[in-house]
């Protein structure tokens, strides 16, 4: 059996048919009700701390309906919701299912140069920058972030280009740089 990642529909068939058992499912799936029940176990903490719920890890906006349903329920309970995103998502789905129910968004802007962005992430950054532009005019509080990766995102040229982009949206003072974390290095 040959795996073709671009054709994956996450059905699990490859896991079921893997003779060597080298493939396996990772993570935990939750129904809306189960996830909401788990989140609400900390309701008292949210109330006394003024905190809320953050959707992060991977890309929560790949699943806008699911994320939106949970965010809507939290919104009904006056629990703030923050989304961390790389910015690569379908804006129309985000706007319809998620945006009305969140208070904050941490939006990563890694590289301004299109070719460099594609080289390091395998994706063009045009959609990301368009999504940021659209979000800049919304009611949600946007915090632009840049992870500082030595020799890649931390270059003077890249950081200056990001700053100029953020100036267009009057957000250069909100820009947060994230220190490099070498924990993933071998």
**pLDDT tens-digit readout, 146-173:** 999 999 999 999 999 999 999 999 999 9
pLDDT score of 9: 77
How high is the pLDDT of residue 5?
A: 67
How confident is the model at residue 6, as a pLDDT?
72
Which pLDDT belongs to residue 24?
A: 81
- Span 83-96, mean pLDDT? 97
Domain map (residue ranges) of the chain: 51-181
Task: Give the SS3 label for residue 106.
Answer: strand
Give the C-alpha separation, 106 to 168, whole Å. Answer: 18
Burial of 83 (0-12, 13-18, 19+ CB in 10 A): buried
Residues in Cβ contact with 122 at an 8 Å cutoff, skipping those fewer than 6 apart: none
CA distance 101 to 98: 6
- Residue 184 confidence (pLDDT): 67
For residue 21, the model assigns a pLDDT of 81
Q: Out of 21-35, 37-51, 85-99, 152-166, which region has the weakest mean confidence (pLDDT)?
A: 21-35
d(CA 154, CA 158): 7
Q: Exposed (0-12), middle (13-18) or buried (19+): which is 174, by Cβ within 10 Å?
A: middle
Residue 185 pLDDT: 67
Note the pLDDT tens digit of each residue in 95-136.
Answer: 999 999 999 999 999 999 999 999 999 999 999 999 999 999
Instruction: Using DSSP, state whether 175 is helix, strand or coil.
Output: coil
Task: Judge whether residue 27 has pLDDT over 90.
Answer: no
| CATH architecture designation of domain 51-181 | Alpha-Beta Barrel (3.20)
User: Predicted confidence band at 181 (pLDDT cuts at 50, 70, 90)?
Assistant: confident
User: How high does pLDDT run on average in the chain?
Assistant: 92
pLDDT at position 8: 77
**pLDDT score at 49:** 95
Q: Is the pLDDT of residue 1 over 80?
A: no
In angstroms, the CA 54 to CA 80 distance is 9
pLDDT of residue 35: 97
172/181 Cα distance (integer angstroms) = 23
Return the half-sphere exposure (C-beta side, CA atoms, 13 A cut-off) of residue 14.
14
């Amino acid at each position: 059996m040959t795996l073709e990642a671009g054709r994956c529909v996450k059905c699990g068939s490859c896991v079921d048919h893997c003779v060597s058992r080298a493939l396996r499912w990772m993570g935990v799936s939750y129904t809306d009700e189960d996830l909401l029940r788990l989140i609400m176990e900390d309701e008292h903490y949210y109330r006394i701390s003024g905190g809320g719920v953050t959707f992060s890890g991977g890309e929560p906006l790949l699943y806008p309906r699911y994320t939106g349903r949970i965010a809507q329920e939290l919104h009904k309970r006056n629990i703030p919701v923050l989304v961390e995103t790389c910015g690569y998502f379908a804006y129309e789905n985000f706007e319809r299912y998620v945006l009305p129910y969140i208070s904050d968004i941490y939006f990563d802007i890694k590289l301004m140069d299109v070719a460099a962005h594609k080289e390091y992430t395998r994706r063009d950054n045009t959609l990301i920058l368009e999504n940021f532009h659209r979000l800049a005019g919304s009611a949600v509080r946007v915090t632009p972030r840049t992870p500082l990766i030595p020799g890649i995102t931390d270059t003077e040229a890249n950081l200056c280009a990001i700053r100029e982009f953020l100036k267009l949206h009057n957000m250069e003072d909100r820009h947060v740089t994230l220190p490099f974390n070498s924990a993933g290095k071998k």
